[in-house]
Amino acid sequence: MNVNLSLAPLVALLAGVLILVMPRLLNYIVAVYLIVTGLLGLFGGASGFHLHH
């Protein structure tokens, strides 16, 4: 089972609830998401960082 497929919707749901409660968090949530996605894209494939097991 791929952990990323079950983790992504939970993160998205949590982020959506936080944005509804505190709209100022939107900028930070988007920034963190973009940074994490970029880092995993750059280094994830090279270092073999995959959560498939």
- Closest residue by Cα to residue 11 from 31, 29, 23: 29
Helices (H) and strands (E) counted in the chain, each on its own, are 3, 0
Domain boundaries, the chain: 3-44
The reported pTM is 0.50
Q: What would the pLDDT profile of 1-52 be if each residue is shown by its tens digit?
A: 555 567 778 888 888 888 888 888 888 888 888 888 888 888 876 555 555 5
